[in-house]
Structures are given as C-alpha cells and as structure tokens.
C-alpha cells in the first residue's frame, strides 16, 4: 500500500493496523488507491493525495473549508485525476461604505472594481470609488462608493429696464408724461448642480443669455417755454420756470469775499448747483429779492440755493421756498431737473 491508500471492508474504512479476531473465517477487502494532485492556495503550492472522487471532496477531506465566494480552478465537482493541478484563492471580508448603509461581503477579488461587482454595486455614470476601481483592495479591506448625480437647471432673473427721456415740444417745461411704461427683460442661466451622496457640492453656471430684452421706460419732458406773470412781495414779476428749492444763506466772514464767478459776495448773489442752474441765471426768491447764480458754494447739490449777503445785512435762511426764474430764458436751459 502507498501512503494515502484506503482499505474498505464491506464498504467501510478499515484501519490497517487493526488485528483480525480469532473467530474470523473470511473477509472481503477493497483497496482504494490515492490520487496525487497539486494545489496552489493563495499563492502557495502544495502536493496532496486523496482517495476522494472529486476535487471539492478531496479539499474538504484535507481540512480546507470552501466558501461559495472562493475562486477554485477547476470547479469543485471536477473528478480527481492523477496529476491534477488546482488553484484556490480564498475570499476575504470586504466592507463597502455607501450612502445610508455599509455592506460587508466575502470576495476573492483583487481589485476594488471587481469587489464592487461581487457586491452587485457597479459604478454607473458619474459615480466613483475610493480607492479607484483599478486599484488593489486596501489592506484595511474597506471601500467607499460615492453616488454622483447632476441636475441641469435653467434659472431666470429679471433684467432691469432703463429710463429714457424724450423731448415733448407740446408740453410746457418741467411737466413730464410717461410715453412708455417700461418692461423688465429676462436673463436665463444654464446651471449644472452636482450632488455626491445626496449633498450639493458644486454649482457651475455654464451659459447665460438674454431671454427677453427689456423695454425702456420713456418719459416725455416738456420743452415749451411760456412766460408767466405773478405778484410776489407786492410786485409783479415775469418768469419762465419756478422750482421748489431749499434755501440757506452765507456771508463773507464765513467763506471770504470772492465768488466762483469773480463777483463779490453780497446780497443778490447765490451759490447753486450749476449742473441744473447755469451761471448767471436770473432768479427771484420771495422774501429775498432778485438774485444771480454766481457761485458754487461748498457741497451745494441739487435743489439747494445758498443766498449771499454782506456781513452787514446777513439774514440766516433754512427753509424751502419757491424760486422763480426770471424772463427771458437763457440759451442754455437744463430741461430736466431731478
């Protein structure tokens, strides 16, 4: 007999060293010859013998536990024949972390991607794994699978309209009318939003365009200059414009005696915003009298008139008044006063 051979008596294994009884008259014995084969297990080559009929039975008899996830080549049901060469790659536990759960499987895969496939968790679309699919499974036996989705949105926002002014010769100066009410336009943006495991992690504007052009508001302003007559301070004056303005006053001891126009500072001279009241415009202020725009003052802006005095006749002003622009009108008229 050779090592590994099996003796059967009545189909049952018999220990070769067991003595026969004195009463035994006859016995039928069967010798089952063992088969030699080689097994490479997790990279280590072994020489084995077995009397089993199949490769799987031989490995089981040799004390090797097989899991369904192990990789055995050839398959376990292969008949055991002399000289058979087999390879066994044991599966090991792998934990896959993904949104909302952890999945632990046994896998004999050597790469991250193959382990994910064994778990039925293939990478799709923009998904990615850590480590990448082509990398070997890390020693900690843990993989993270990140599910990625993207939304493409079209977002709209109003586009303001501008206000345009248009002269209207049929209307008197300082009167305005809306010729066109104006309409907001519309801008559109194509936005790509990226989500990883349900969390928004990026937002990118890919394109932007004007979906609808705004329509301007058009305001007609009067350019007809008409002479008016009124009684102010007991006297009749002729004027072509009247504005409500805030009046203050100043005198030489505060700012000096010289004005921006070169005229001396005294009663009858006023500082104005020359963007709306040109130099040397003649005006009448009730309670003050006639005045010429001849100075710019410090910070005089908009509907503000700073009335000049000498030091001897100074009167403080801080009030709103109606300022009359005396006839005749100048050549350089500011048509629209804010």
SS3 of residue 298 by DSSP:
coil
C-alpha span between 79 and 126 (Å, rounded): 46
**Which of 89, 115, 136 is where one domain is finished?**
89
C-alpha span between 259 and 59 (Å, rounded): 115
**Domain contains 331:** no
154 or 4: which leads in pLDDT? 154
* Residues 277 and 321 reside in one and the same domain: yes
Following DSSP, what letter does each residue of 175-200 receive, concatenated?
-EEEEE--B-EEEEEEEEEEEETTEE
* Residues 176 and 215 reside in one and the same domain: yes
Q: Residue 8: is its pLDDT beyond 90?
A: no
Q: Residue 188: is its pLDDT beyond 70?
A: yes
Q: What are 276-317's pLDDT values in tens digits?
A: 999 999 999 999 999 999 999 778 999 999 999 999 999 999
For strands 304-308 and 269-271, give the pairing.
Answer: antiparallel
Residue 250 near residue 309 (C-beta atoms within 8 A):
yes
Q: What are 128-139's pLDDT values in tens digits?
A: 999 999 999 999
* Residues 313 and 231 reside in one and the same domain: yes
Q: Residue 321: is its pLDDT beyond 60?
A: yes
C-alpha span between 290 and 267 (Å, rounded): 9
Indicate the pTM of the whole model: 0.57
Instruction: Write the DSSP symbol of residue 141.
Output: -
Domain range for 62 is: 6-89
Residue 202 near residue 152 (C-beta atoms within 8 A):
no
Q: In angstroms, how far is CA 278 from the centroid of its own chain?
A: 51
**Domain contains 124:** yes
* Residues 191 and 240 reside in one and the same domain: no
Q: Residue 68: is its pLDDT beyond 90?
A: no
CATH number, position 173: 2.20.230.10
* Residues 303 and 233 reside in one and the same domain: yes
**Domain contains 105:** yes
* Residues 136 and 183 reside in one and the same domain: no
* Residues 61 and 104 reside in one and the same domain: no
**Which of 89, 106, 128 is where one domain is finished?**
89
Q: What is the pLDDT of residue 236?
A: 98
**Domain contains 337:** no
Q: Residue 42: is its pLDDT beyond 60?
A: yes
pLDDT above 70 as % of the chain: 91
* Residues 248 and 196 reside in one and the same domain: no
* Residues 75 and 119 reside in one and the same domain: no
Q: Residue 172: is its pLDDT beyond 90?
A: yes
**Domain contains 334:** no
Whether the CA torsion 75, 76, 82, 87 is positive or negative: it is: positive
Say which residue the tokens 């509907």 belong to. Answer: 303
What does pLDDT average to over the chain? 92
* Residues 239 and 317 reside in one and the same domain: yes
**Domain contains 186:** yes
C-alpha span between 50 and 39 (Å, rounded): 12
Closest of 97, 94, 61 to residue 76, by C-alpha: 61
Following DSSP, what letter does each residue of 203-223 receive, concatenated?
EEEEEEEEEE--B-EEEEEEE
Q: Please count the structural domains in the chain.
A: 4
* Residues 244 and 204 reside in one and the same domain: no
Q: What are 233-246's pLDDT values in tens digits?
A: 999 999 999 999 99
**Which of 176, 200, 221 is where one domain is finished?**
221
* Structural tokens at position 297: 């003052």
Q: What are 207-232's pLDDT values in tens digits?
A: 999 999 999 999 999 999 999 999 99
Closest of 207, 176, 109 to residue 337, by C-alpha: 176
CATH number, position 236: 2.40.40.10
Q: Residue 197: is its pLDDT beyond 80?
A: yes
Backbone angles phi, psi at 56, to 5 degrees: -60, -40
Backbone angles phi, psi at 252, to 5 degrees: -55, -35
Mean pLDDT of 250-256: 92
Q: Residue 107: is its pLDDT beyond 70?
A: yes
CATH number, position 59: 3.10.20
Residue 144 near residue 97 (C-beta atoms within 8 A):
yes
* Residues 189 and 102 reside in one and the same domain: no
**Domain contains 338:** no
**Domain contains 332:** no
């Amino acid at each position: 007999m050779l090592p590994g051979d099996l003796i059967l008596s009545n189909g049952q294994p018999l220990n070769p060293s067991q003595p026969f009884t004195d009463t035994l008259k006859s016995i039928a014995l069967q010798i089952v010859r063992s088969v030699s084969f080689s097994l490479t297990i997790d990279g280590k080559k072994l020489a084995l013998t077995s009397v089993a009929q199949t490769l799987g039975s031989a490995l089981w008899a040799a004390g090797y536990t097989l899991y369904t996830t192990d990789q055995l080549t050839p398959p376990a049901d292969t008949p055991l024949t002399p000289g058979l060469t087999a390879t066994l790659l044991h599966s090991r536990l792998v934990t896959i972390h993904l949104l909302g759960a952890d999945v632990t499987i046994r896998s004999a895969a050597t790469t991250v991607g193959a382990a994910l496939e064994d778990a039925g968790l293939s990478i799709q679309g923009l998904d990615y794994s850590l480590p990448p699919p082509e990398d070997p499974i890390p020693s900690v036996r843990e993989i993270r699978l990140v599910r990625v989705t993207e939304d493409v949105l079209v977002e709209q926002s109003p586009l303001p309209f501008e206000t345009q002014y248009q002269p209207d010769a049929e209307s008197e100066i300082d009167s305005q009318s809306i010729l066109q009410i104006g309409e907001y336009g519309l801008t559109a943006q194509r936005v790509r939003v990226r989500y990883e495991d349900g969390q928004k992690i990026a937002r990118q504007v890919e394109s932007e365009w004007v979906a609808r052009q705004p329509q301007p508001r058009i305001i007609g302003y009067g350019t007809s200059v008409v002479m008016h007559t009124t009684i102010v301070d007991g006297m009749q004056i002729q004027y072509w414009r009247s504005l409500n303005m805030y009046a203050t006053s100043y005198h030489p001891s505060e700012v000096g005696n010289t004005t921006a126009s070169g005229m001396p500072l005294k009663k009858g001279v006023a500082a104005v915003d020359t963007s709306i009241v040109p130099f040397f415009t003649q005006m009448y202020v009730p309670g003050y009298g006639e005045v010429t725009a001849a100075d710019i003052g410090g910070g005089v802006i908009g509907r503000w008139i700073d009335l000049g005095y000498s030091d001897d006749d100074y009167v403080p002003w801080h009030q709103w008044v109606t300022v009359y622009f005396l006839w005749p009108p100048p050549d350089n008229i500011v048509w629209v006063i804010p």
